[in-house]
Amino acid sequence: MDRVTGMQVFQRVATLGSLSAAARAMGMSQTMATKHVAALEGRLGVKLLHRTTRRLTLTEAGRAYLEAVEDILDRVSAADARAALDATVVRGRLRMNVPVSFGTREIAPLLAKMAGLYPELSVDLGLNDRFVNPIEEGWDLVIRIGQLTDSSLIARRLAPCATVVCASPDYLARRGRPATIHDLTRHTCLGYTLSRVVGPERWHFGSDGKASVAVSGSLCANNGDALVATALAGQGIIYQPTFLVHREIRAGTLVALDLDHPPVELDGIFAMYPSERRPPAKIRATIDFLLEQFSPVPPWQV
């Protein structure tokens, strides 16, 4: 028999003084109510109730047990209420993991605005570029860029993720401006080591990514901001998502290159969370907030 239900039945019997009254109050048969109380007494190994033809009274053990049961049931009710509130009210602590550069440039600046909308919500922001398992590592929400591989997670596409090939005006003045992707073989190309599309040895182009060219350079890195800083210093050409370079392109400190094949567009920027029947309000609200900030055109589009 379910232990919590048994406790609830016992509490009603003690309060109402009758098995039949308790059964009616809980919408069950008197036989079932009797079984619940008997199961409790059997599990505990003591009598909780004195039964006569006229009334039920608590034994000494029953009185002590009733006090403990009422405390337990109050805690269960409070826990249920908190869980129900979390399903509808945006509150509590949101553990969100985001790629380093995207999180620093595009997510962190939005957190103050989100805090104004949801004052009962606090954010624990984790920044890294490695694969993250939200279930094993305890993240409520994970944002990742590019192709998704974990089908056990629910994914919402937040925005497209275009890429661009660019370099500083100083570099282009010294080395010339490439016109085709094959011209890149004569240039210093700074690769991103965590990508198969724009890695340190080969860059892919076109809508399907099938056009490619071998590249080489004096530096490769596993962080996009490091590559941007190096390109700004005139050390070479970079091929990065537009969210990393849109400010620099608009300011003229980096120049977008128009080659004979268009840059690839990554699958997108996705918010992912563990599969649940209905995710907590804090997850739903955060995703909706980010969708609103990034739609209809993301602020990093160039």
**Nearest in space to 91 (alpha carbons), one of 121, 112, 119, 111:** 121
Interatomic CA distance for residues 292 and 104, integer angstroms: 19
Task: Specify whether 48 is located in the same domain as 172.
Answer: no
Task: Specify whether 50 is located in the same domain as 123.
Answer: no
Sign of CA dihedral 204, 207, 208, 210: negative
Do residues 19 and 13 make contact, with C-beta atoms less than 8 angstroms apart? yes
Q: What pLDDT shows up at residue 222?
A: 93
Residue 237 neighbours by CB distance under 10 Å:
25
What's 71's domain CATH number? 1.10.10.10
**Nearest in space to 223 (alpha carbons), one of 130, 133, 161:** 130
Do residues 97 and 139 make contact, with C-beta atoms less than 8 angstroms apart? yes
Interatomic CA distance for residues 20 and 270, integer angstroms: 56
Reported as a single tens digit per residue, the pLDDT across 9-41 is 999 998 888 888 899 999 999 999 999 999 999
Task: Specify whether 249 is located in the same domain as 262.
Answer: yes
Q: Which of 69, 88, 107 corresponds to the end of one domain?
A: 88
Do residues 15 and 7 make contact, with C-beta atoms less than 8 angstroms apart? no
DSSP letter, residue 296: S
Number of domains in the chain: 2
Amino acid identity of 159? A
Low-confidence stretches of the chain (pLDDT < 50) are none
Q: Which neighbouring-strand residues pair with 205?
A: 211, 263
Interatomic CA distance for residues 179 and 37, integer angstroms: 84
Task: Specify whether 18 is located in the same domain as 99.
Answer: no
DSSP letter, residue 213: E
Interatomic CA distance for residues 285 and 91, integer angstroms: 10
Task: Specify whether 187 is located in the same domain as 104.
Answer: yes
DSSP letter, residue 264: P
Task: Specify whether 63 is located in the same domain as 155.
Answer: no
Reported as a single tens digit per residue, the pLDDT across 50-98 is 887 677 889 999 999 999 999 898 888 878 767 776 677 899 999 999 9
Q: Which of 88, 116, 136 corresponds to the end of one domain?
A: 88
Token code pair at residue 241? 């998502």
Task: Specify whether 100 is located in the same domain as 75.
Answer: no
Give the list of residues 6+ apart from residue 77 with CB closer than 8 angstroms, or none: none
Q: What pLDDT shows up at residue 201?
A: 96
| Angle, in degrees to the nearest 10, between helices 281-294 and 60-88 | 10
Q: What pLDDT shows up at residue 1?
A: 63
Task: Specify whether 194 is located in the same domain as 55.
Answer: no
Triad 137, 143, 146: Cα angle to 5° = 120
Task: Specify whether 44 is located in the same domain as 157.
Answer: no
Task: Specify whether 102 is located in the same domain as 119.
Answer: yes
Rounded to whole angstroms, what are the CA distances from 52 to 17, 20, 55? 11, 14, 5
Q: Confirm whether pTM is higher than 0.75.
A: no
Task: Specify whether 178 is located in the same domain as 223.
Answer: yes
Q: What pLDDT shows up at residue 86?
A: 62
Q: Which of 43, 69, 88 corresponds to the end of one domain?
A: 88
Q: What is the 3-state secondary structure (H, E, C) of 36-74?
A: HHHHHHHHHCCCCEEECCCCEEECHHHHHHHHHHHHHHH
Distance in Å from the first CA to the final CA of the chain = 64
3-state secondary structure of 97: strand
Task: Specify whether 84 is located in the same domain as 146.
Answer: no
Do residues 234 and 170 make contact, with C-beta atoms less than 8 angstroms apart? yes
Q: Which domain holds residue 258?
A: 93-302
What's 266's domain CATH number? 3.40.190.290
